[in-house]
Amino acid sequence: MTKSEAWDYAIGMLKVDGLTPTKDFQEYIEKEKRDEITVDDIKKFLDKKYKMSETTT
């Protein structure tokens, strides 16, 4: 399975659940398909965007 096929499959699985990736995430996917970035870069993007900040009490 190619990168492109794997991403298309993953996006298809999201759509089955009625979800779609954000435009930013879709851009990262396209860059990864073209070998402009790595999966680690995508992980960092997602961690930065969605990781909750730790709060101290």
pLDDT digits (tens, 9 = 90+) for 43-56: 999 999 888 766 65
pLDDT at 35 over 90: yes
How does 23-49 read in b/e, with b if 16+ C-beta sit within 10 Å? eeeeebbeebbeeebeeeeeeeeeeee
Give pTM, 2 decimals: 0.74
In a domain, 55, yes or no: no
Band (pLDDT 50/70/90 cuts) for residue 57 is low
What's the total number of domains in the chain? 1
In a domain, 40, yes or no: yes
Residue 50 is predicted with a pLDDT of 85
Instruction: Please report, rounded to a whole number, the percentage of residues in the chain having pLDDT higher than 90.
Output: 81
In a domain, 57, yes or no: no
- Residue 57 and residue 44: Cα distance in Å, rounded? 27
Residue 26 is predicted with a pLDDT of 94
